[in-house]
Amino acid sequence: MSRMCEGRVVVVTGAGRGLGRAHALAFAAEGAKVVVNDLGVGLDGTPGADAPAGQPAAETLARRDLAGDPALRVVEEIRAAGGEAIAHGGDVATSAGAASLVAAALDTYGRLDTLVNNAGFLRDRMLVNLDEDDWDAVVRVHLKGHFLPLKHAAAHWRAEAKAGRTPAARIVNTSSGAGLLGSVGQSNYSAAKAGIVGLTLVAAAELARYGVQVNAIAPAARTRMTERTFADTMTAPDLGFDAMAPENVSPLVVWLGAEQSAGVTGRVFETEGGRITVMEGWRAGPTADKAARWTPEEAGETALELLGRAEVPGRVYGA
Interatomic CA distance for residues 129 and 107, integer angstroms: 45
151: annotated active-site residue: no
- Residue 214 has phi, psi (to 5 degrees) of -130, 120
Picking from 167, 170, 176, 182, the residue whose alpha carbon sits closest to that of residue 271 is 176
Q: Which of 193, 210, 250, 261 is catalytic?
A: 193
Distances (CA, A) of 223 to 130, 139, 142, 227, 242: 23, 19, 16, 5, 13
Interatomic CA distance for residues 13 and 23, integer angstroms: 10
SS3 70: helix
Q: Which of 33, 100, 144, 176 is catalytic?
A: 176
190: annotated active-site residue: no
SS3 73: helix
Interior/surface letters 76-86, b for 16+ CB within 10 angstroms, e for the rest: ebbeeeebebb
Interatomic CA distance for residues 300 and 319, integer angstroms: 26
Q: Is 92 left (phi over 0), alpha (psi -120 to 50) or beta?
A: alpha
Q: Which of 144, 175, 189, 261 is catalytic?
A: 189
Q: In sequence order, what are the residues at sequence separation of 6 or more whose Cβ sits closer than 8 angstroms to the Cβ of residue 105?
A: 9, 11, 35, 111, 112
User: Helical H runs in the chain?
Assistant: 18-29, 57-60, 70-80, 95-109, 132-139, 145-162, 177-181, 187-207, 250-256, 296-309
109: annotated active-site residue: no
Active-site residue numbers? 176, 189, 193
